[in-house]
Amino acid sequence: MRDKITFENLHISEEIVSSIKNIGWKNPTDIQIESIPHILRGSDLLAQAKTGSGKTAAFGIPAIQNTVTSDGLQTLILTPTRELASQVSEELNVIKGEKKISIAAFYGGVSIDSQIKALEKGLEILVGTPGRVIDLLRRGNLKLENLNLLILDEADRMLDMGFFPDVTWIINKSNNDKQTLLFSATFPQEILNLSSEIMNNPEHVITSQYELEIPDISQKYSRIGKINKSWALSNILSDFNYEGQILVFCNTKRIVQVLEQRFSKVLDKRISSLQGDMTQNAREKVMKKFKSGDIDLVFSTDVAARGLHVDGVKLVVNYDLPNTVDSYVHRIGRTGRMGLKGRAWSLVSSDELGMISLLKNVHSLELTETEIPDNNGDNHQLFSKKKDWNEHSDLFGMISLGINVGTHDGLNHQKLFDWIKGLIKISDLAVGSITLNDDNSIIEIHKSKVDYIIGAMEKNKGLGKLLNVEIV
Ligand code: ADP
Ligand code: MG
């Protein structure tokens, strides 16, 4: 934040400055300093700034300032999730202070009747998800022919393949001469290309075209197989010691449900979850309690990845790695907001390593490989660590075992092969290549047989001595 620039310097009206002061904000953030003048001037704008940098107010303050009381719907803000629509509407309602304008969030999963009533009473700023906005347009209750301002929050998400048809449908129902603003922390190139289609000579406020800007978040990752991720998470949680709230992201609703149940049973913490199959009522309850600090730990799908601001979140765990770089950036961006420090920890199984190398090598993110901490604080282990041969095996499921005998001990391929076949019942196919060195050998064994063969090798003196067996 640049201390010298004040909200007054940005030509924000006295009314709004005084309500901002009431909230307790001292100075505008960088993105607010850079975007507000463009917006007040009436330019279209594409604005990129890192997660948690105050983008909501960057578009919210000028939107409110330019709104005329009792002049009908003037601003439409679209967001990808219901929770975010609700959060943006709440923040704008605080910023507007005493100004007599009506701002509301419209989304699915709740009764449409009260929304229709609100429209009839007169609404100046509408924050909504595309589905419900389309619904209201189709029914004829909502008209967008006199818009002054269209804002896409999380704009890259709103213009990606999932939302693009809906968003363009909505835009086509609105007048052409409105102002359009796009805000996000990430703008992939294909979305930048697309953005010119819905804007006129836009101004650009972009931190860096090539680098992803990440707030002050320490990013760790640990290599751990799928079957041991619960063990790893429980150790990370106990090591973290609940010094702040925790958000754990999973890739499917099912895993969210399973983990909520599993961890609720064993941890004496306030645990909840957030995913798209829950009723809207339940989702809202969880968000409210999470924001007020009444929940310690939330398991969530990507519904919570974009835009949500919960002051107390100090640790984000990726139980699964997300499928895109941008999703990673938004997920971890739920912590480390507004200049505070945050921590992120990703659990990475062997099939997810490609994403780690993309994040590190292509996008230069500072991810540090870290061992899962020991659970020495707790005297009872919640989950035990299981052998996970998948993590050691190659594409064909083979695992290399090293033994401390070789050609100097008089071994050759045939002798070694026969010895293995004599140890346990094992098909030829489950024995892979055999490499003989002077005083050690490496044998590939299929993962399905590894447990048995290691046990048998370590007990057998058929090669002249007791052996040390290790995974290579
Ligand atoms: P972003 O959209 O960039 O991820 P948000 O708009 O959600 O970030 O803002 C993050 C938090 O910062 C919110 O709690 C918001 O109320 C607060 N905030 C916004 N502007 C300021 C400011 N100028 N000074 C202090 N806090 C601010
Ligand atoms: Mg935001």
Shortest-distance Cα residue to atom 2 of ligand 1: 55
Query: Ligand 1 centre from 431 Cα, in Å?
Result: 59
Angle between helices 55-65 and 82-95 (to 10 degrees): 50
Which among 21, 309, 310 is the best mutation to test ligand 1's pocket, defined by most ligand atoms within 8 Å of the CB? 309
What is the Å distance from ligand 1's center to 56 Cα? 7
pLDDT number for residue 210: 65
Return d(Cα 164, Cα 171) in angstroms, integer.
10
Identify the nearest ligand to the CA of 29 by its number.
1
Mean pLDDT for the stretch of residues 339-358: 95
Ramachandran bin of 185, using left for φ above 0, alpha for ψ from -120 to 50, beta for the remaining angles: alpha
Residue 405's pLDDT band, with cuts at 50, 70 and 90, is very high
Domains of the chain with bracketed CATH: 2-205 (3.40.50.300), 217-369 (3.40.50.300), 392-471 (3.30.70.330)
Has residue 340 got a pLDDT over 50?
Answer: yes
Distance 424 CA to ligand 1 centre (A): 64
Instruction: Give the model's pLDDT for residue 378.
Output: 56
171-204 pLDDT tens trace: 999 999 999 999 999 999 999 999 989 999 999 9
Shortest-distance Cα residue to atom 19 of ligand 1: 54
Ligand 1 atom showing the smallest separation from residue 32 Cα: 23
Q: Are 229 and 319 in contact (CB under 8 A)?
A: yes
What tokens appear for 283 in the block? 């989702």
DSSP state of 197: G
Band of residue 208 on the pLDDT scale cut at 50, 70, 90: low
Mean pLDDT of the chain: 94
Amino acid letter, 184:
S
Q: Which residues line ligand 1 (CB under 6 A)?
A: 25, 28-29, 32, 49, 51-57, 91, 307, 309, 337-338
> How much distance in Å is there from the Cα of 60 to the middle of ligand 1?
11
Residues 6+ apart with CB under 8 A from 265: none
> Comparing 308 with 391, which gets the higher pLDDT?
308
**Which amino acid makes up residue 380?**
H
Local confidence band at 2 (pLDDT 50, 70, 90 cut-offs):
low
- pLDDT at residue 51 in the model: 96
Is residue 232 within 8 A of residue 347, CB to CB? The reply is yes
pLDDT score of 385? 86
Looking at residue 386, its pLDDT comes to: 84
Residues with CB under 5 A from ligand 2 (ion): 55, 307
Say how many Å lie between the CA of residue 165 and the centre of ligand 1. 30
Name the 3-class secondary structure at 323: coil
Task: Read off the pLDDT of residues 366-395 as tens digits, 9 standing for 90 and up.
Answer: 999 999 998 765 545 678 888 888 888 888
Report the atom number in ligand 1 closest to the C-alpha of 51: 4
Write the pLDDT tens digit of every residue in 247-257: 999 999 999 99
At residue 225, the pLDDT reads 94
Residue 162, pLDDT above cutoff 60 = yes
User: Residue 80 pLDDT > 70, yes or no?
Assistant: yes
Residues contacting 295, CB < 8 A, separation 6+: 245, 270, 271, 272, 286, 289
Task: Grade residue 472 by pLDDT with cuts at 50, 70 and 90.
Answer: confident
Q: Cα–Cα distance between 4 and 1 in angstroms, integer?
A: 9
Indicate the pLDDT class of residue 230, thresholds 50, 70 and 90.
Answer: very high
Q: DSSP for 403-416?
A: ES--GGGT--HHHH
Q: In testing the pocket of ligand 1, which one of 29, 31, 335 has its CB within 8 Å of the most ligand atoms?
A: 29
For a ligand 1 pocket test, name from 21, 48, 56, 290 the mutation site with the most ligand atoms within 8 angstroms of its C-beta. Answer: 56
Summarised one tens digit per residue, pLDDT across range 93-129 is 999 999 999 999 999 999 999 999 999 999 999 999 9
CB neighbour burial string for 231-248, b if at least 16 within 10 angstroms, e if fewer:
bbbbbbbbebeeebbbbb
What is the token pair recorded at 463? Answer: 């090669």
Task: Please say whether the beta carbons of 39 and 59 come within 8 A.
Answer: yes
